[in-house]
Every structure is written in C-alpha cells, then in structure tokens.
Structure 1
Amino acid sequence: MRNLLKVLLACVLLSVLTSFLSVAQNFPFSGTVKNSVSGAPLEGVNVYVTNLSTGVVTDSAGYFIMFLPQGVHAVEFSSVGFESKRRNVPVHRAMTINIDLDESSQLLQEVSVSGQAEDHNISSVELGVSKMSMKTIEKMPTFMGEVDVMKSLLMLPGVTTVGEGTTGINVRGGNIDQNLILLDDAPVFNSSHLMGLFSVFNPDVVRDISFYRGAIPAQYGGRASSVLDIKIRTPETDQIKAQGGVGIIANRLLLEGPVNKKVSFLLGGRASFPNYIFKLAPNKAIQDTRANFYDVTAKVLYQVDDDNKIQLSLYRSVDRFKLASDSLSALEVNATSSQYDWETTNATVRWDHAFSPDFIANVVGVYSDYNASISSLVPAVGFELPSAIKYRKAKADFSWLKGSHTIMFGGAGTQYILEPGHLQPTSSESNINEQLLQNEYGLELAGFASDELIVNTKLTVMAGLRYSYFQNMGDRDVYSYQPGVPYSHESMVDTTHYSKGERINSYGGAEPRLSLKYSLNPTASVKLGYNRMRQYLQIISNTTASMPIDRWQLSNPYSKPIIADQVSVGYFKNLRENVYELSAEAFYKTTQNLSDYKDGADLLLNPALETAILHGNGFAYGVELQAKKNMGRLTGWLSYTYSQARIRTKTDFIEEQISNGNYYPTNFNKPHILNLSAIFKQSARVSFSANFTYSSGRPTTYPLDKYYYHGAYVPYYENRNQFRIPDYHRLDLAMTIDDKPSRQAKWKGSWVFSIYNVYARKNAYSIFFKPNNQLYYVHADVYKLSIFGSIFPSITYNFTF
C-alpha cells in the first residue's frame, strides 16, 4: 500500500508540473446564469464544453469559471426544469458571458438524483457520493405524507437503519454517531422528530443534499463513516413569495423575498400536534401519549457587492414526547409517565469573498447547542435529567482554480462542552437522590489541502491531506485504577484533578484522502478511493435504537478516538446517451477503538464510563449495485447491497470478554438490502411513485437457557448477536396532482396522496420473551414488537403564491 501511494503521489506531482507549464495557453471563461423570469441566480447549472468533453457547475450565486484553450468552443448550458441553451464562444482572451435560462413547461423527462452534468457519474472523480434534489425527494412516497430527507437516504445503496421509528442511519458498517450531519455548516446531533418518526429538516427550505460515504473530500472531518451536507435554499431576490403545506401530521409555511436590492430573506416554519391521532388507537397507553414538535429555519443574504456576500442561517427545533407509562430501568425508576424533551439551536454566519474570479474564500462561524432531558412529575419519583452538547467552530476555506487544477485548503478550530447529565428531584416528596456528572471539555484543530487535477482526458486525480489534533481538557477529575484487574468502582485507587483549561491528554494524526478516475471510453470509467477519518466524539449506549438522552463522550485517557480506513473501487457505465446509469462499488473498511458495553453495564449515570465499556476493532466490507433511469416518463433506480460488519473487543480479563473474544456482528449488520424507487409521469399534472424495500433482519441476542436463582428464573445469554429477527420488507405508493403548468394564477396548489406499508406487513422491530410460570412447568412466551404494523394512508396539500 505504501509503494502504491508513493507511485500515485509521484504521478500527481509530475502532472502538476506539466499542467503549470501549459497553463499560459489557457484563458479564463466565466459568467453568471440566471432565471429569465425572476432574474434569480441559478445554482447547479451544467456548463459543458462539448468539443472538449469538460464542464463545470454554477455555484449558489449562479457563477462559473473555467479555463479554455484558444479557439471557438461550443458551450451548452442546461439544468433540470429549464430549456437548454447553446453558444459558440470564441476564446482568445479572458471572456465573460451572462446567460438567462427559460423555465421548461414540457412534460417532465427526468428525475434528478444529482445536480451535476448528465454524465457526472462517469466523468467526475467522486466515488461513493449521492446528490439528491428536493424535486426527487418530494415525489417519493412518505410516511403520513411528510417529505423526509433522512428517510429518503434509506433508499440509497449502503444505507440502513435498525428499524422503523428510529433516529439515525447506519452507513457501510458504521454506528449512527459516525455520520456527520450538517445544515449550512452547523452540526445536527439528533436528526429526528417524534422519537424517530420524522427528520428535523423542513423540506421547503432545503436546496440540495450531498451524501458522502466513499472517498470523502479533505475539507470534511470528525466522523468515521459518512458526511451528509444539507444546504438551505438561497432566498428569492426578485419578489416576495410564499409556499407551504397542510398534512395529517404537520403544517408548513415558508416566506421569502427581497428586503431591498442587497438584502433578501427566507423564513420557514413547521409544526405538528398529532395527539388526536393517538386517541384513535385502541390501546389505552397509546391514547394517553402526548407529542408535538416545531422547527423554524431562517436565512438572510446580504449581497455586499460582486465580490462579497454574507449569509446568516438560523435553525431552531423543539420536541416534546410524553409516554403514558415507562420503566426507566437505567435510572432504577418505575414511573407511571415519562416525558422526553430535546431541542437544537444552530446559528451560522458565512462570508464569501472573491479575491479574483479564480480565487475565492469562505469564512464561517458556527454556534450549536443541543439540549435533551427526561423527566417525571409523579410526586414519589419526580425527577429531571437534563444533558447538553455545546459546539463552537470557526473555519476558513479557500478554493483556487489554476488551469487544470482545483485547489482547496483551509483550517478550523472547534470547541466542545459536554454536559452528560444532572439528575435532580422535582419536589420534596420525591425519593430521587441528586447526582451531577462531570462536564467534558475538548478542543479540536484541523487543517487540510487538496488538489483535483485533470491529468488528461482519461485520468483525473484528487489528492488531499487533513491533519487533526484533539485536546481533552479540565475542569474535571480523572480516576486511576489498580493494575492487573478490570476497571471498576471497587478497583479505583486515586483521583487527579485538572483545572479549567489544563490539558489532560491529546490525540492527533494525518488523514490522507485519494481518489482516482480513469475513463475507459466516453461512456464508462473506473474509480479508486481511499480515506482515513478520525472521530473524537461518540455515543456510548447499550440500546439498539438511539434515544434523545443518549450519552455522548469525548476522547479521553481511557477512550481513544475512532480511526477508520476505507478503500473503495467502482465501475460506472452510461447507456443510451446517459438515459441509463449502471454502477458497481465495492468497499473494505477497518475501524479502530470502537466502544461496546460490558454485559449488564450501567451507562446513563455512571460517573466513570471506563468501568462499563470495552474497546476493540472492527471491519466491514460490501458490494453496492445500482441501475438508474434518468429520462422518460418512467424514472427511478434499483439498488442491491451485500455487506457484513463485525466487531471484536480486546480485554485481558476472561470475565469481561464478549463472545469469547471472537468477532461478532454489529447491532445494525444487515447482509442483504434491496431498494426500488420509481416515478411515473402520466401527464404534466399527474405522477405516480412507488418505493419497495427489503432487508435482512438485524442481529439480536436470545437467551439459550435459564437457571433458578433465589426464587426466580434468570435467562442465560452466551454469544452476542448470533440470531436475527425476521426479514423486513415494505411497499409504499403515492400519487401527486399538480396545477396545470399553463395556469397563470399566483396561487398554485398540488395534492399528494400516499399509502405507507401497502400490504400492512407487521415487520418485527424486536423479538422478546416473557416467562410464563405454571405450577410444575416454566416456559417463556415469544412476542414480536412491530412499530408500524398496519397500512397508513395520508393526504397532503401543498401550495405556493
């Protein structure tokens, strides 16, 4: 591997030198593309030079730049929903051009899964990347009519979840905390509303989605599996507009428009009060359940001048979920009702500055707070347990176009403050004892540089290097333990106090990234990618599904950062002038310093987590196949994934070993996943869509036997995750009826009718056992828990004016 990297780096350096020697023969060709009606800049427009088979994509300001040799070039400007335009551009000096595109009123001919050029999948160097437009997501069938960004990712290869109604996704063998989720550069630590039924992203405000699970660019870091980069729409600059929707679960409203010639705004809100739905359930416990949520997204754009732009993004999300009854075994509390509260507050300010058309800087400041709590108002056991994550970040990125090079470099500093929990009684009648866990403090510094180099018409190389450094700091105590025995509260022998800002310990290292694309012919290419990722923040949990109150932990003297190395290779082929796309990707990933809990571990209020968790290594591998149809009345994709994920903990003590020290499946290991998503455009007004998904049942641990102890039967477990719950499959259907395209009225509406779980399959979320004690015979009854064991029809009305 080292010799291969040396050869590749030598090729890159040689091609860089060659390219710089020839750059003097090229001239900059730049311009802006706008909507011919509104005058708004168009992002994601393909600017393609047909005679050179190369192109770029416009940015959020509709701007593009590229370098062309002297001569007359045929340039095509195209974007989904707009009429394409062609221009013959004579280039003998620096050239600038402005293009207006007309909206298309023809029958929809394609579903865009990427905002890139039509052959982007074979011409780009990107590997393991999916870019989905909201137009595609909005047409997909949804649960209770709510368009869901996170649920749409489950239709992509290599992405799965532990079950319905759960938060987070699992990507290529990684846990949910190994995914970096960004909303306009601000992190989202809990992406769910209503305990995982919906995601926190308002579909009306989302511009586009970039999902990286393969060769991840060097500017991203901090997570070991994937990056989900979600961008908020650029506000309308021409006139005040509004849009929204009324549904069974939630209602939405969005306002946007100009304040003056330089300032425009966007304000979107969504709220849900589904308690009336719970009252329809036959189960009394469900009838008494209470839940609601709201989220607000805002963005202000200040176009200072042609070279400077300032954007302010704000996001606020609040959830309340009250269960009629709940056994809080982790707190040793049996409450008759429990309430979960969680909220996210994010703010991002971004300054974009163009030093020149080919040298651009982005400076970003991020403020993020995530707060969660669980509480009970029952007098005898009244309590509240809040926790929080405070995140502050400043970063600067620079991009430089130099001939056939696209160079990026920058740096970032991130401060973490974790408040793990403060258990406190809510009244004098409560028998709960107060308990305060120590805060955790950390500082992460990172710098990166990358270069995407077009070596020739066949070979493109993107090489990058990221270096990250993390420091764990006081104010906190660190415990020491007796050597030669397992860590436990009984083996604790000393305590060392570190004052505020004092370094406790540190970690750091290089994170190389490399991607190669080699074109076999104009319609096929092969790609190779490698990346190393370091993660200094992770969830510590012993539950299968994530909860709002899950405990997060920073890397410390007893918990090293997660380090993941992934190699991937892919073959990409287009047919019939890019109407069909075929792809096959294979990956192999190793992961160091994974955490898993000891048998019977208590995590939530444990003041010394190192006594309850073990660390080990894991690996994952798989093959992802996908066939996609982009044009015609019938569009969509079919994907199949085969994968495996294993973990093995390392310990010197037999009593702590999991599965006898052997590798065992992760909780989210599903070997087979099949997804089908299709959209049929019957007319300019009516379209039908369908989703079908199948996956292997997730691993679980069943008792192998039982033994009698102090008057009770106790189940006996041996190896972890050696059984599986039944396989999962589901079919969803939807129909969308839009207004007539020729209708000129200001108010336009559309109806969406959807059916979730068409054949009402009772998919198992879990299998559990209850003892059935009889006089002379003791056995256990087996039960299956289904989250959505029925058909769910819904109707939603969307409008714009």
Structure 2
Amino acid sequence: MSKKGIIYLFIILFFSGIHSNIAQNTSEETQPLAEILTELETQYSVHFTYVDQTIADIYIVKPDKNFTLEELLDYLKSEANLDFILVDNHNIVISKRMNPLSSIITQKLEEVVITNYLTKGISRKSDGKTSIKTADFGILPGLIEPDILQTIQALPGILSVDETVSNINVRGGTHDQNLILWDGIKMYQSGHFFGLVSAFNPYLTTDINVSKNGTSVIYGDGVSSVIDMQQSNSLDQDFKAGAGFNLIHADGFAKVPLNKQAEIQVSARRSVTDFIFTPTYDQYLQRVFQDSDFSNSEQNTTPIVSNNERFYFYDIATKLLYDITDQDQVRVNFSTINNSLTYDQISLTNDNESLTNTLEQNNFAGGIQYLKYWNSKLTTTAQLYISNYDLKAIDFDVINNQRQNQENEVKDLGIKINATNHIDDNLKLHGGYQFNEVIISNLEEIDIPDFTSFVREVNRTHSIYGEAEFTSADKNTYARIGIRTNFIEKFSEFFTEPRLSVSHKLNNNFRFEFLAEFKSQTTSQIIDLQNDFLGIEKRRWILSNNEDIPIIKSVQGAFGVHYNKNKLFISAEAFIKNVEGITSRSQGFQNQFQFVNDIGKYQVKGVDFLINKQFESFSTWLSYSFSNNDYTFDNLNNSNTFRNNLDIRHAVTFANTYSINNLNLALGFNWHSGKPTTLPEEIQNNANNIIEYKSPNSDNLSNYFRTDISATYKLKFGNKLDASIGASIWNIFDRKNIINTYFATDENGDIVTIDNLSLGITPNISFRVRF
C-alpha cells in the first residue's frame, strides 16, 4: 500500500471509529469503578489517587447524583469494599483495607495540583514534579503504548533534538545530565534500537516521577533532571498477566501471588526485527544507521557492501515482593537490557573479502531493599544495588585490513539508607546516607599497527542528607527544604547542595511556586571520534578526574505561576540554569572544535508556557518554550560566548486527545526552530584537506515540524479478560526534517555535506490482551 493509501485508510478508521462508538449504547446496570470515578472527579471537583490494580475488575452501580460528598464516600466504601480516605476537600485516597500502620502512612501523600495533565494518567504535584501512572495512561499523538521516555517528551521544556530516548534534553542539558532511576538503581542505558524505543517495559513500571528543578535531596547526580521509575510495590493477592505485540517487538508480563505474603513480577520483551521485516522497522533502520559504518557514507568512494545484518534487542525484569510481617517488607529485583547488531562488510575491490562487525550494548541491574514500619510515624528503608553497563564493538576496516576493538564498561555499587518521620499531619522529615563506588573502564585495541589503550577510573562518594516537608493546615502552602553533602574520596572534597521547593495557593484558582537547587555529578559521556562504536552508539561513559575532566556542577532556579479552574490549566514558568565543568568532548562538536579538548560551561534562560483545557471526553493543549542557551569555553572562540549545540530557541506543541467509551484518539503537531550549525567558509584552501569554518554555531538548520496521529480501542470479554488494539502514524506528512548537518572532505579534497534526517512516515499497529 502506498503512503497516501496508509494515510487515507487511517483517517477513515479514525472517523468511522468515532461514529461507531458514539452510536453504541453502553448503559448497563453496573459499570467499571474506574469509569465511574472519572465522572465523579468532574462532578465533585475532586481527585481520586489509587493504584490501578486496587480498583481493577470492580463493578458497581452508579451512585445517586444528589449524594453529598460524605454520602458518596460512604456509598463507595460499602459497594466497592475499599477504603476512601478524604485527605482534604479535593483529594481522596483509595486503598485496600489493610493494617493500621499502612493505612496511616498512605494518608501522607503529596497533594496533586492538577490531574489528567495533558492526558489521563499524568498529574502535576505540589512540589513541582510531574507524575505518570502507566496503568492509567490515556493516549498521546504518535504513541499507542505508554513508552516512558517518549511520554515525558510531551512535557514543556523536554525534547530530543534527534528524536531518540537516548538523547533527552531537559532545558538545554545533555542526556548524561539526567539521573535515570529504576527502583532506585541508576541506569546507564536508556534506549532500545539505539535510542528509538525506551528500554523500560511500561507494564510493570507503574509510577514515573519527573523533576526538572527543586528535586529532593534524596537524589544525587543529574544536574538537569531526575527521572524516577518505580515498579509496583504492593501485594495485590491477584494473578494478573498480559501480552502484546507491535511491528517492532513482542512482550509479556505477569504478577503471580506465591502466598499471602509473597508475590513475583516478571516482564520480558523482545524485538521481532530479526525475523519479520515491517515498514516500521524499515524506517527505524534508515534512521539509526544512516550515518554509521553499516551504511556507506557519502564521502566514501570505495565500493563496500554491507549485508547479512542481524539486529535484535530484549529486556527482562523481575521483582520479588515479600512481606515478612505487616511492618517488615523485603523487595528484590533485577533487570537486564540488551541491544545486539552484527553485519558483514564486503570490499568489492579487495577479492570480495567479508568480515563481520559486531556491536553489543547491555545494562544489568539488581538490588535488594528492606522497608520497616516502626510505628505510625517512622519508616526506614535500606537498599543495596549494583548497576553494570557494557558496550562492546568489533569494527573491521576491510580496505586497510585493520581490526578495532572498543569497550566501555561501568560498574556502580550503591548503598542507600533512609528514614522518614511523620512529625504530624503537616510536617515530615527525611534523612539518610548514600554510598556509591563507580568504576569506569575504556579499552581500545587496533591490530595494525599494534596499539592498545586501557583507562580505568574509580570514584567513591559518601553522601548525607536531611530534608523537611511542610504542608499548612489549610493545604494552601507546601514547602520542602533540604541539604545534601557529598564527600568524594578521590579528591578529598566536599560539595554542599541545598535544595528548595515552595508552592502557595493564593486562592482557589492561582498558585505560585519557587524551585531552586545545587547539584553535582562525577559521571558524564564523551565522544572521542564520530565513528567510535561503528558510528552508532558514539558516546562512552567517563569519570571526573578533577583535571581535564572536572566535576560537573549546576545551580538553577525557577519561578512559576499556575491557574487552574473549571478544567482550564494555564502555567508559566521562568527559569535560569548555570552548568559548569563540561568538556568540549561531551558536547558532540562536528565543526572546528571536533578534536579539541577544553573545559567550559553553559547558561540557559527561558520560559515554559502551557495552556491545557479539558472537557468531559476531550483534552487539548498548547505548550511553548523559549530558551537562550550559550557556551563559554576557556580556549574556544577566543573565550567568547557562543550558542550551545542544543540551543533550541523556540519549541511549540499543539495536541488533542479524545476519549469516548473504549476509544481513544490523539492528534498532535510538534514544531521547533532548527538547532545551531557551523557552515564552512565559502573560500577554501584544501591543500591539507582541512575545512575552514565560519564562527561556531552562527547558522541554523531548517525548522523542525512533525504531525502524529494515533488511536486505541479496548475490547472487553469479561471480568478477567480484555484486549486492546492500536494504530499510529509518526510524521504522517513524511516531512524530511534535517536534525543534524556536518561536513567532510572526500578523496579529492572536496567538501561533502552530510545531512542526518529524522524518521520518515512511520506506521505502527499493536494488539494486547490482559487477563
């Protein structure tokens, strides 16, 4: 089918689905509790907080519309056999009827400022962070499954200049400046398919919290943001499972009760790309490998053929939950993430010699956590974990008969001890200790000429922290203030990092907030050469040595004003962030600074704006981000300030979601100004094949524009079995967006322009079952 045919078919299905679903008569004697709660939130202007599994498979008769809120809660408690705890006039916590200690602690939840932020399942908290619940997730344009790291890019101030989840830029920062946690374990790999698919299975990763500023002192690292992912942490006593597939991968998950005190959770996912060729895979293949050794680059005039390629990825996650008593809990988990690529290169001018190139990328994580409820006020947790990242490549140069081995390995061993004390209903205290030992090694071997380089760095960090959270009796004011002190053994240096988050409700409609933080990190990613690791996964992790690779430090602050009334949410947040200690090798320069190593800093100032209007079945939003992001390096550009490689001055998103009965639809537009680029001088002296460039980042690529559409439909087969089907088209108009441009010289010394293009029109379909 042609591309136009795909578009027309999708539009027909899109609108026929609306018509058929409006025509359905869904009035029944009983309805799912989840659907009823959604209606009650609108009717009573309240928000229900719950774990999705708590209300799953519960059907009740709709309550009387004339009930008072108190009468409504009594009715729901009786009919659903659950606890409905009124935290304040607008927030209600739903939980299973449990032991007194757990019930009391459950009431100490952070206040939700706005629910269904952008779409169902996303909410904004009073401390400035954004919470995503995958089990409640609605739909976003271009997505038919709750891809975690794609979803957070819908938030203002977060985007990826190259469309990958392995290069997420939060307010102008590089990807390595994001702290990505999975059940408290730092992850050094975030993407499958070398960045086009999130590496974290969303069907057991139930809660994601994203903080761009004012983060809790519990978190170290991450000078740009924290992305904290949590698997389900409660025993449900119910067997649940599901499986599904799309045009890239198939997956399955299960939650299996072992007895009343124990449960095991398992999820697994594997690509189907090594034995099924799909149009989605074709687009992904072109996008990822267009500028790698796998594809013939434009400046390569020697005929080389790559074939017999085999690519696949998989991930497996397991978690054991064991409640020793009502007050003692043990959680054990592990995860493994893998990408694997092999392909042959054949030289047509060298006796058709064939050699196999390989690239392996893996992240293993494992941990054990013990949680103790001492009483209704005091809780402690202790966690021991290890995270191991390994990137290996074998690259054969068939023309020069040369073999190159490269390896980048990270071993991160951590211990975390935390205590939380609920002084009263308005004050909560946190305190704790964290230890990390990080070992990073880099290996490079070349056979002709014989060359070996091996660098191994070790760093141990001890951290202590304390923090107070305050909520006023009228729930109008929230404040969290804390301080974290890191001691780095290798350098015998202390780093003190205060953090602050304050929000105050002026009246029922207006709220303002102030966020500020100091942060530091000792790990970062660099690029030695653009063709490292086959030119596909170019970045390698390194450790600070306090010399040519300093410790990265950041200071940032933000002030925001938010308006929320009658499902209309308007938000404006101004921010400033200063980050120092970056190296030029970490910024991915492909101009006159590509082979220069220097130390510098950047400053980004800007405003994030959002307007979101929700109706009963419809949500629409417009977000706009303006930022000015500039470098200053000690020895580059005569120490003058110049534009950051990630200086996206303007970014706009306009999107709509529509839900009726079991049908979800989404349509969205993404536009942003082109990233900076450096052009060659018009007059060149190429005697030495050296390109003379204009001022760094003084020009821009063309503006980026993309339109996405998606639809999902749920099928109910009974109380225990349901299914869903989905379809999406990414970049529906097949716009050729240039996401990067650089220049090289060919064998004749002529300058060649290499453009990297974004994903073209990319269809996808999915089918899932749950039981």
- Same fold at TM > 0.5: yes
Unmatched segments (≥5 aa) in structure 1: 1-35, 63-72, 102-108, 328-333, 473-504, 603-610, 651-656
**Does 1:461 pair with 2:439?**
no
What residue is the counterpart of 1:444 in the other structure?
A: 461
Q: Does the 8 Å CA contact 1:644/1:671 hold for their aligned counterparts?
A: yes
Q: Summarize the Cα distance change of 1:367–1:335 in structure 2 as closer, same or farther, 3 Å threshold.
A: farther
How much has 1:174 moved relative to structure 2? 1.2
> Structure 2 vs 1, CA of residues 355 and 76 (structure 1 numbering), >3 Å: closer, same or farther?
farther
TM-score scaled by length of structure 2: 0.77
CA distance in 2, matches of 1:373, 1:326: 22
Closer, same or farther: CA 799–58 of 1 in aligned 2, 3 Å: closer
Deviation at 1:792, TM superposition (A): 1.5
Aligned equivalent of 2:416: 395
Conservation of the 8 A alpha-carbon contact between 2:512 and 2:559: yes
- The alpha-carbon deviation at position 728 of structure 1 amounts to 0.8
Mapped to 1, the partners of 2:559 and 2:87 lie a distance apart of 39
Given that 2:83 and 2:95 are in contact with CA atoms closer than 8 Å, whether structure 1 keeps it comes out as no
Q: Please say if 1:553 is aligned against 2:542.
A: yes
| 1:72-151 alignment runs, 5 A limit | 111=116, 121=124, 125-127=126-128, 129-135=129-135, 137=137, 139-142=139-142, 147-151=146-150
2:452 corresponds to 1:408: no
Give the CA deviation at 1:171. Answer: 0.8
Letter in 2 for 1:691: G
2:757 aligned with 1:786: yes
Structure 1 letter corresponding to 2:638: N
Corresponding residue of 1:479: none
Of 565, 568, 571 in structure 1, the residue corresponding to residue 555 of structure 2 is 565
Counterparts of 1:320-719 in structure 2 under 5 Å?
A: 320-322=340-342, 338-376=357-395, 380-403=401-424, 404-421=426-443, 423-424=444-445, 430-431=447-448, 433-455=450-472, 457=474, 458-472=476-490, 505-541=491-527, 548=537, 550-558=539-547, 559-576=549-566, 579-597=567-585, 613-650=597-634, 657-681=635-659, 683-710=660-687, 713-719=689-695
2:708 partner letter = D
How far is 1:384 from its partner? 2.2
Name whichever of 455-464 and 387-396 sits farther off: 455-464
Partner-residue secondary structure (3-state), 1:151: helix
CA separation of 1:414 and 1:88: change in aligned 2, threshold 3 A: closer
TM-score norm. by structure 1 comes to 0.75
Instruction: After superposing the two structures, state which structure 1 stretch, 617-626 or 369-378, moved more.
Output: 369-378
Quote the Cα distance in structure 1 between the aligned partners of 2:193 and 2:742: 24
CA distance in 1, matches of 2:53, 2:313: 33
For 2:204, the equivalent position in structure 1 comes to 205
Q: How many residues align?
A: 666
Partners of 2:221 and 2:338 in 1: how far apart? 25
Counterpart position of 1:654 = none
Query: Distance in 1 between the 2:215 and 2:456 partners?
Result: 32
- 2:607 alignment partner AA: V
Distance 2:314 2:507 in 1: 51
Pairwise CA distance, 1:631 = 4.8
How much has 1:571 moved relative to structure 2?
0.5
d(CA) in 2 for partners of 1:431, 1:536:
35
- Structure 1 residue 757 corresponds to structure 2 residue 746: no
Contact between 2:149 and 2:165, CA under 8 Å: does it hold in 1? no
Amino acid at match of 1:130: T
Following superposition, the deviation at residue 798 of structure 1 comes to 0.8
Alignment partners' CA distance in 1, 2:346 and 2:150: 27
Question: Percent of aligned positions with the same letter in both sequences?
Answer: 20
SS at structure 1 position matched to 2:648: coil
Q: Matches of 1:165 and 1:461 in 2, distance apart?
A: 35
Distance 1:771 1:436 in 2: 28
Mean Cα displacement is larger for which, 700-709 or 209-218? 700-709
Q: CA deviation at 1:213?
A: 0.2
Q: Distance in 2 between matches of 1:684 and 1:440?
A: 56
Q: Secondary structure at the match of 2:455?
A: coil
In 2, Cα distance between the equivalents of 1:734 and 1:345?
33
SS at match of 2:219: coil
What is the CA RMSD across the aligned residues, in angstroms? Answer: 4.2
Q: Which residue of 1 aligns with 2:21?
A: none
Secondary structure of residue in 2 paired with 1:581: strand
Aligned to 1:28: none
Query: Does the Cα contact within 8 Å between 1:125 and 1:462 map onto a contact in 2?
Result: no
Counterpart CA distance in 2 for 1:676 and 1:152 is 15
SS at match of 2:162: coil
Asked if the contact 1:240–1:255 (Cα under 8 Å) also holds between the matched residues in 2, the reply is yes
Shift in CA distance, 690/601, structure 1 to aligned 2, threshold 3 Å: closer
Given that 1:646 and 1:665 are in contact with CA atoms closer than 8 Å, whether structure 2 keeps it comes out as: yes
Whole-Å Cα distance in 2 between the matches of residues 535 and 437 of structure 1? 23
CA, structure 1 residues 58+198, in 2 after alignment: closer, same or farther (shift >3 Å)? closer
CA distance in 2, matches of 1:90, 1:735: 35
Residues 575/507 of structure 1: CA separation in 2 closer, same or farther (3 Å cut): same
CA deviation after TM superposition for structure 1 residue 259, in Å: 0.8
For 2:367, give the aligned amino acid.
T
CA distance in 2, matches of 1:581, 1:601: 39
Deviation at 1:152, TM superposition (A): 1.5
1:48-85 C-alpha deviation (Å, 9 max, x unpaired): 9x99x9999679998xxxxxxxxxx9698799xx9899
Q: Which residue is equivalent to 1:18?
A: none
Instruction: Say whether residues 1:722 and 2:698 are aligned partners.
Output: yes
Q: Report the equivalent of 2:63.
A: none
Tell me, which stretches of 5 or more residues in structure 2 are unaligned?
A: 1-29, 55-68, 99-113, 287-294, 297-304, 348-352
Note if 1:736 corresponds to 2:712: yes
Change in 2 beyond 3 A, CA 1:37/1:685 = closer
Deviations 1:658-696 (A, max 9, x none): 122111122111011112332211x32222112321111
What's the CA shift for 1:549? 5.2
User: What secondary structure, in the 3-state scheme, does the structure 1 residue paired with 2:181 have?
Assistant: strand
- Asked if the contact 1:244/1:254 (under 8 Å) is kept, the reply is yes
After superposition, the Cα gap between the structure-2 partners of 1:749 and 1:703, relative to the gap in structure 1 and judged at 3 Å, is same
SS in 2 for 1:230: strand
Native 8 Å contact 1:296 1:316 kept in 2: yes
Deviations 1:256-303 (A, max 9, x none): 120111110111100013143468999996865431100001111001
For the residue of structure 2 that corresponds to 1:669, the secondary structure is coil
Which residue type is aligned with residue 376 of structure 1?
D
> What is the letter of the counterpart of residue 291 of structure 1?
F
Offset at 1:449? 0.8
Structure 2: distance between partners of 1:90 and 1:326 = 68
Provide the rounded CA distance (Å) in 2 between the counterparts of 1:98 and 1:343.
Answer: 38
Cα distance in 2 for partners of 1:366, 1:725 equals: 43
In 1, distance between residues paired with 2:243 and 2:130? 27
